[in-house]
């Protein structure tokens, strides 16, 4: 009898522990107002940028690359944490999160860097490159979000190769967002 009671108690505790386990949403940044050149729907704008810019290699334009990476990093969190996107295909949402991780590794961003720090740094870097403000560029390239020296970050931002898988997921997510937001 005691053995049965002990077994029942153990099974009950395991079941209760399973009910308490929840996956936490990924670290998600808040996009600043007016970022990415829009005062409209920032999620749609971010995905349009990611889908368009990652449709081909980004070479010789590190500012454009930084802005596209900011959009991708933001969407990796936003699509997986905002209730707005709960009806989006989970595979697409997870692939966006996976590509956030892959792109961070590709350009030398720490995998543990807070999403808000990554977003703020990459947006500012894109603006600094666009304004040709070399002092700001050098300061931002030395940000603690990066795990490699500034010159290597700059080189990597200047040469983002085309990746068919990244292009496919950003294009698919962009078309899903259009369907979700513009269908009757």
Do 62 and 129 touch, CB atoms closer than 8 A?
yes
Sign of the C-alpha dihedral computed for residues 10, 16, 19 and 24 taken in this order: negative
Query: The pTM is what?
Result: 0.84
Beta bridge partners of 159: 59
* pLDDT, tens digit only, all 184 positions of the chain: 676 655 655 555 555 545 444 578 899 999 998 899 887 899 999 999 999 999 999 999 999 999 999 999 999 999 999 999 998 999 999 999 999 999 999 999 999 999 999 999 999 999 999 999 999 999 999 999 999 999 999 999 999 999 999 999 999 998 876 665 544 4
Q: Domain-by-domain residue ranges, the chain?
A: 26-182
């Amino acid at each position: 009898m005691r053995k049965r009671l002990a077994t029942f108690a153990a099974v009950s505790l395991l079941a209760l522990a399973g009910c308490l386990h929840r996956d936490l949403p990924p670290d998600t940044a808040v996009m600043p107002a007016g970022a990415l050149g829009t005062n409209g729907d920032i999620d749609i704008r971010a995905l349009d940028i990611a889908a368009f810019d990652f449709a081909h290699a980004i070479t010789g334009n590190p500012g454009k690359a930084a802005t596209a990476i900011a959009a991708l990093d933001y969407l990796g969190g936003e699509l997986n944490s905002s209730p707005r996107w709960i009806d989006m295909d989970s595979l697409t949402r997870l692939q966006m999160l996976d590509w956030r991780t892959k792109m961070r590794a590709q350009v030398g961003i720490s995998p543990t860097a807070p999403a808000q720090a990554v977003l703020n740094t990459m947006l500012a870097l894109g603006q600094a490159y666009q304004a040709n403000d070399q002092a700001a560029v050098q300061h931002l390239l030395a940000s603690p979000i990066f795990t490699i020296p500034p010159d290597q970050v700059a080189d990597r931002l200047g040469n983002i190769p085309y990746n068919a898988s990244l292009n496919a997921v950003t294009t698919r997510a962009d078309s899903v967002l259009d369907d979700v937001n513009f269908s009757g």
